[in-house]
Structure 1
Amino acid sequence: MFRRTFWFTAGAAAGVWATAKVNRKIKQLTPESLAAQAADKALVAGHKLKDFALDVREGMSRREAELGEALGLEAPVDPDLPVQRHFAVEADEPEAPRRLPRTSRTYNSYNRNEDH
């Protein structure tokens, strides 16, 4: 009799445990729960991406400072020297207007929303 009671109790406990586990998993797979999990993961990914960008920017500015020191670009400017201006493009004569290249694309005038 004791053996039957033990196995009956063990079976009932396993059933309760399995039911609770299945219900918990079902609640995790509802659309609201999946959306919340996706939003949380997107926030975490955004924070990691922001931290990465800040680290890159810091390393870039540090390396720029190192290169400036190595090349002597950070040297103090003598106020007696005239300021030298750099122009990206020196225009001797006006440029002709540029034409955009023709593409071989043909645009279809069919609007699929017209029929609705």
Structure 2
Amino acid sequence: MFRRTFWFTTGVAAGVWATTKVNRKLKQLTPESLAATAANKAIEAGHRLKDRAVEFALDVRDNMNRREAELGDALGLNAAVEPELPGPRRYTAIENRNSPKHVETTTYSYNRNEDH
């Protein structure tokens, strides 16, 4: 009698386990579940791609700055330069029309519509 009860219980447990497994798999294969899974994977892929793009941009910026520094050193642009004093200021002279040196000059019209 004990053997029959053991095998009956084992059979019931195996049947429950198999039914549960099959039902889970069937639920995973429904169109809604497949669409949700695809959407989740697409979102994860987008996040990974964005992270890699940000890392790439930072690497490019670091390498660009390093290369600019190398070129600046090679061309002597990064060398310490002694500050130069500014040159003397030049003031523009104000024209004095009452001055005897002032000579009236003839002005010409540069109108294109006039006959020349």
Instruction: Return the TM-score normalized by structure 2.
Output: 0.63
Q: Tell me which residue corresponds to 2:16.
A: 16
Q: Tell me which residue corresponds to 2:41.
A: 41
Partners in 1 of 2:53 and 2:44 — Cα distance? 14
Encode CA deviations 1:1-33: one digit per residue, 9 max, x unaligned: 110111011001100110011001100000000
Partners in 2 of 1:45 and 1:9 — Cα distance? 46
Partners in 2 of 1:37 and 1:75 — Cα distance? 55
Partners in 2 of 1:57 and 1:75 — Cα distance? 25
For structure 2, which runs of at least 5 residues remain unmatched after alignment? 87-116
Q: How does 1:42-57 map to 2 (within 5 A)?
A: 42-57=42-57
- When Rg is computed on C-alpha atoms for both structures, the one with the higher figure is 2
Partners in 1 of 2:11 and 2:29 — Cα distance? 27
For structure 1, which runs of at least 5 residues remain unmatched after alignment? 81-116
Q: Tell me which residue corresponds to 2:4.
A: 4
What is the deviation of 1:75? 3.9
Q: CA RMSD in A?
A: 2.0
Partners in 2 of 1:32 and 1:70 — Cα distance? 57
Partners in 1 of 2:6 and 2:56 — Cα distance? 64
Encode CA deviations 1:68-113: one digit per residue, 9 max, x unaligned: 000008749x9x8xxxxxxxxxxxxxxxxxxxxxxxxxxxxxxxxx
Q: Tell me which residue corresponds to 1:27.
A: 27
Identity %: 58
Partners in 2 of 1:28 and 1:75 — Cα distance? 64
Letter in 2 for 1:63: N
